[in-house]
Amino acid sequence: MSATANPSANADSTDDLSKEERLKRYLLDRAQDGEMYFKGKFIADDVDLSPKEIGALMVKLRDSATELTVEKWSYTGATTWRIEPA
């Protein structure tokens, strides 16, 4: 057995951070002029993420992003998110 760290585990956490940062920057750019409503499935191609990844990251951003106010707005076929600059 080897005592070395698992490199793929470290790569996964780095990858998650870059996905979160990429989504946050996209949302900050889009919300510059005020509030914005969107569904993850409609911005998925813009940020190169799946709608499922966007949903999971939005929950994280709601708790961690100080530059954005994130609110889960409604659910009709997919979650609608409301964001605005903080």
pLDDT tens digits along 11-57: 455 566 589 999 999 999 999 999 999 999 999 999 999 999 999 99
Asked if residues 57 and 81 have their Cβ atoms less than 8 Å apart, the reply is no
In the chain, domain spans? 36-86
Higher pLDDT, 11 or 67: 67
What is this structure's pTM?
Answer: 0.76
Closest CA to 22 of 45, 48, 41: 48
Distance of alpha carbon 68 from alpha carbon 66, whole angstroms: 6
Q: Is the pLDDT of residue 9 over 50?
A: no
**Domain 36-86, CATH 1.10.10 — does that match?**
yes
Mean of pLDDT values over 67-80: 92
- The pLDDT, as a whole number, for residue 75 is 86
Under a CB-based contact definition with an 8 Å cutoff, are residues 68 and 85 in contact?
A: yes
Quick one: how far is CA 80 from the chain centroid? Answer: 13
